[in-house]
Amino acid sequence: MTEAVEGEAVEARAVVRRCVDCGELTKRPAPYPGPRCATHHREKRKRDKERQADAKMLKTYGLTPEDYQDLLASQNGRCALCHRRIGVSRRAAIDHDHGCGKCGGSGCRFCVRGLVDGLCNKDVLGRFGDDPDRFRAIVDYLERPPAQRVLNRTSTV
Ligand SMILES: [Zn+2]
Ligand SMILES: [Zn+2]
Ligand SMILES: [Zn+2]
C-alpha cells in the first residue's frame, strides 16, 4: 500500500503548501509555484499562454479578444480558405496583407484579411504571397490543364 504512505507524506506537505486555487478542503500536493497543484498549474499555464497571445494580437494587429471572437464567428469557426475547423485546440492564424501601407506590412487592423489554419497560412498564403494574379494563374491551371494541350491536342480542353 505505497499509496497510503505517499498520501500521508503528501498531507504533511500540503499543510505547508496548499494550492491557492483548490480551496480549503483539498489535501492535494502543491509542488508548483503559487503554490498550485498539478491541475491548477496546468490551468494557470494555459491562462497565461492565452493572455500572452491576446497581448501579442493586440500589439501586432490592434485586435482585442472580442475582435478575434467576432472574426471567428463570422467565419463559422472555419478557415477562410479551406474551411477546416480552426481555433479549437490552438489559436487560428491571422492573415494580413503584407503590402499594407498603413503598417508597412507588419500587420494592423486595416490589413487583416481573415483567420486561417496553420497549413493555409504557411503553405498557401506563405508560398503564393499577396498577389491575386498568382492565384488566378492557379485557377487557370486547374481549369485549363496545360499538359492536356500537349498530350491531347485534338480534345477541346
Ligand atoms: Zn489546485
Ligand atoms: Zn485552411
Ligand atoms: Zn497593415
Sole residue written with cell 491531347: 152
| pLDDT of 12 strictly over 60 | no
| Strand duo 112-116 + 93-96: pairing | antiparallel
From ligand 2's centre to the CA of 142, what distance in Å?
A: 19
From ligand 3's centre to the CA of 118, what distance in Å?
A: 20
Average pLDDT, the chain: 87
From ligand 3's centre to the CA of 92, what distance in Å?
A: 18
Domain ranges of the chain: 1-60
Cα separation of 129 and 75, whole Å? 21
Query: What digits encode the pLDDT tens for the residues 46-82?
Result: 999 999 999 999 999 999 999 999 999 999 999 999 9
Q: Where are the beta strands (DSSP E) in 25-139?
A: 93-96, 112-116
Q: Give the Å distances, CA to CA, from 23 to 37, 71, 152.
A: 11, 37, 75
From ligand 2's centre to the CA of 125, what distance in Å?
A: 10
The angle, 0 to 180 degrees and rounded to 10, between the axes of the packed helices 65-74 and 38-61 is 80
pTM of the full structure: 0.74
Indicate the residue type of 12: A
Write out the residues surrounding ion ligand 1, Cβ under 5 A.
19, 21-22, 37, 40
**Amino acid 2: pLDDT:** 42
